[in-house]
């Protein structure tokens, strides 16, 4: 079974085909947006409507060098400190 591995922008590996990222939308263009997390920025091709400055989790697929948004989840109201603690525990299990 294939699932979306949680990643940071700088930890995406060549063999990652499906992964999810959590960050702020830095910029929005026609058919893409730039997602920023604490490790860097990445361009994601997307047909989803996202707002600049919003916090989102993006479930991504990679085809060649291009990254596509399969699904975008708005994360408004997220307790960021709690999220970081849970994430660190989860990443220990991987």
The 10s digit of each residue's pLDDT in 3-60 is 899 899 999 998 999 999 999 999 999 999 999 998 999 999 999 999 999 999 999 9
Distance CA 85, CA 81 (A): 6
Exposure of 10 by Cβ count < 10 A (0-12 exposed, 13-18 middle, 19+ buried)?
exposed
Query: Which of residues 26 and 83 earns the better pLDDT score?
Result: 26
């Amino acid at each position: 079974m294939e699932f979306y591995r949680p990643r940071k922008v700088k930890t995406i590996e060549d063999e990652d085909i499906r992964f999810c990222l959590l960050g702020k939308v830095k910029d929005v263009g026609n058919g893409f947006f730039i997602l920023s997390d604490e490790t860097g920025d990445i361009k994601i091709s997307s047909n989803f409507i996202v707002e600049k400055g919003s916090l989102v989790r993006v479930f991504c697929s990679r085809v060649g060098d291009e990254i596509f948004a399969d699904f975008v989840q708005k994360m408004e109201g997220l307790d960021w400190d709690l999220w970081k603690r849970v994430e660190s525990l989860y990443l220990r299990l991987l």
